[in-house]
Amino acid sequence: MKDSVAYTENKPEDHAYNQLISEDNNELSTEGHNHHGHPETRHKVNGPSTQTYRLTTAILGILCAVLMATVIGLCVSYKGLSEEHIVLSQNSSETNGNMEQLKANHDLLTAALMKLQRSFQEAVRAKDSMQLVRNRERQGKELLQRQKEALVNEETQLRTRITALEKSCERCPVGWELLRSSCYFFPPTESGPKLSWHRSREECKKSGADLAVIDSQEKQEFISSILARMGPIYRSWQRGYWIGLRDVETEGVWKWLNGTELAKGFWFDREPNDMYSAEDCAATYARENPLKSWNDAPCDYSLKWICEKKL
């Protein structure tokens, strides 16, 4: 009942509520005492509107408090976010700086890489060029090696030949003539003695030789050339040279000193004739035809001689 005033006797269970109302609405209430001596409170009841106001005020207060708390919370949160934003901004700036530095470093590295690539390509070209030079040098070296080997072989052959010649020259005594592996000696035509076949052989043996065995056309031509070189050709039977050929064992069977039978002789025409049945030793003479220059004569006849010594 709006705007009505009521006096009520407080119940124990209503005391606390009324106390609160009383305290909150001093100005709106009057106090008295009931007949029991208890304080009697008279309340001026404001009605639903007042309570609503009070409740609304309380709610508003609470809401204000909540709002304040929310604002404070938001402020704190904002402050945190702001600080975080500042930190992030700083980090972003720092990151941007780092990115710029990284980009600059990347550019430098790219330039260095390109420079290295150019250097590498130049090195590859230089290497190829050097390889070509080395290949040419190797080919030249191989050619020189082959030439050297050929020269070494030629030198070896020449040295072998020189050694053989030196040995031959060394082994043929002075005044002796060399043909292949034998040395031949011819006594002077115009001086010195003439001797029988046996004495002549002994002279040869004194030199470690023996009367010459002319068992080939080459030897005959060689000896004839030496005789022709020693002086003019005299058609004399006294200018002969004993050789190592006889037919003492069997007439007509001519044998060399080494025991081999004569195969081919270089006799004058109509020789050997064993004149007076006394000619068993053979001699050679200086004549125009070297292949017809032998005669048989008495073994005790005095002639020059030809010695032969094998190397």
Query: Where on the chain is the footprint of Ca ion (CB under 5 A)?
Result: 273, 275, 279, 295-296
- The type of residue at 120 is F
Of 42 and 292, nearer to Ca ion (C-beta) is 292
Report 193-252 residues binding ligand 2F8 (CB under 6 A): 237
Of 41 and 295, nearer to Ca ion (C-beta) is 295
Piece in contact with ligand 2F8 (CB under 6 A), picked from 17-25, 87-95, 139-147, 268-276: 268-276
Contacted by 195, from Ca ion, ligand 2F8, none: CB < 5 to 8 Å by type: none
Residue nearest to ligand 2F8 (CB): 237
Q: How far is CA 182 from the centre of its chain?
A: 56
Supply the minimum distance, in Å, between the C-beta of residue 161 and ligand 2F8. Answer: 43
Cis before 12? omega within 30: no
- The type of residue at 147 is Q
Supply the minimum distance, in Å, between the C-beta of residue 206 and Ca ion. Answer: 28
Q: Which of 198, 273, 300, 310 binds ligand 2F8 (CB under 6 A)?
A: 273
- Three-state SS string across 39-64, please? EEEECCCCCHHHHHHHHHHHHHHHHH
Residue 124: HSE in the Cβ half-sphere, 13 Å Cα cutoff: 6
Residue with tokens 């934003």: 85
Supply the minimum distance, in Å, between the C-beta of residue 165 and Ca ion. Answer: 40
- The type of residue at 268 is F
Q: What angle do CA 289, 293, 297 make, to 5 degrees?
A: 165
Supply the minimum distance, in Å, between the C-beta of residue 291 and Ca ion. Answer: 17
Contacted by 237, from Ca ion, ligand 2F8, none: CB < 5 to 8 Å by type: ligand 2F8
Asked if 281 contacts 294 with a C-beta cutoff of 8 angstroms, the reply is: no
Asked if 309 contacts 208 with a C-beta cutoff of 8 angstroms, the reply is: yes
Piece in contact with ligand 2F8 (CB under 6 A), picked from 42-50, 116-124, 143-151, 267-275: 267-275
Residue 203: HSE in the Cβ half-sphere, 13 Å Cα cutoff: 22
302 closest CA partner among 200, 191, 224: 200
Contacted by 129, from ligand 2F8, Ca ion, none: CB < 5 to 8 Å by type: none
Supply the minimum distance, in Å, between the C-beta of residue 217 and ligand 2F8. Answer: 23
Of 35 and 235, nearer to ligand 2F8 (C-beta) is 235
Of 222 and 241, nearer to ligand 2F8 (C-beta) is 241
How far, in Å, CA of 258 to CA of 263, rounded? 13
Asked if 241 contacts 227 with a C-beta cutoff of 8 angstroms, the reply is: yes
Residue with tokens 């005790």: 300
Q: Which of 182, 200, 224, 295 binds ligand 2F8 (CB under 6 A)?
A: 295
Interface ranges with ligand 2F8 (CB under 6 A):
237, 271, 273, 275, 279, 295, 297, 301
